[in-house]
């Protein structure tokens, strides 16, 4: 059941496979403003990469960056409707999902995770983009 303060609702159907991680297969955005958050890496406010070599630390920093971005736009993490995750090693899926559960309320946003050969900064293991929906 979607909490009433969410800007999107989850579509449920038994005709799609169940999510095996922390995401929703389909969400519908309610009327409002759409916020697009660029790919966030594990950089702190000084621009330094946090958690070099550590997926958990980098995912946590990225979630904090997304939280700061959506709050700066006037929303909360509950307003995030979709995530795109780029990782150097998909075997880190469980660690990444564990951290995401701490930040994104249930039902969670939609999500795509893709393993890539390289990110712009060789210290970064993961990059996440986000889309949020705020009330008009």
Greatest distance between any 2 Cα atoms in the chain: 47
**Residue 107, preceding bond cis, omega within 30 degrees?**
yes
The 10s digit of each residue's pLDDT in 40-62 is 999 999 999 999 999 999 999 99
59 falls within a domain? yes
SS3 11: coil
100 falls within a domain? yes
- Find, among 13, 24, 9, 7, the residue nearest to 110 by Cα: 24
CATH of the domain at 71: 3.30.1330.40
Model confidence, pTM: 0.84
Please give the tally of structural domains in the chain.
1
67 falls within a domain? yes
What is the C-alpha to C-alpha distance for residues 14 and 134, in angstroms, rounded to an integer? Answer: 29
Residue 26 or residue 41, greater confidence: 41
What is the C-alpha to C-alpha distance for residues 41 and 85, in angstroms, rounded to an integer? Answer: 10
The 10s digit of each residue's pLDDT in 62-87 is 999 999 999 999 899 999 999 999 99
Full domain range(s) for residue 24: 8-134
């Amino acid at each position: 059941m979607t909490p009433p303060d969410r800007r999107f609702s989850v579509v449920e159907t038994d005709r799609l496979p169940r999510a095996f991680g922390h995401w929703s297969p389909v969400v519908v955005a309610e009327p409002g403003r759409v916020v697009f958050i660029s790919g966030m890496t594990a950089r702190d406010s000084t621009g330094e990469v946090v958690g070099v070599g550590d997926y958990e630390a980098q995912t946590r920093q990225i979630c904090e960056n997304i939280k700061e971005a959506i709050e700066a736009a006037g929303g909360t993490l509950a307003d995030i409707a979709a995530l795109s995750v780029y990782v150097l090693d998909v075997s880190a899926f469980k660690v990444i999902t564990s951290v995401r559960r701490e930040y994104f309320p249930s039902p969670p946003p939609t999500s795509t995770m893709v393993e890539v050969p390289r990110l712009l900064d060789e210290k970064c293991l993961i990059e996440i983009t986000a889309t949020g929906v705020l009330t008009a």
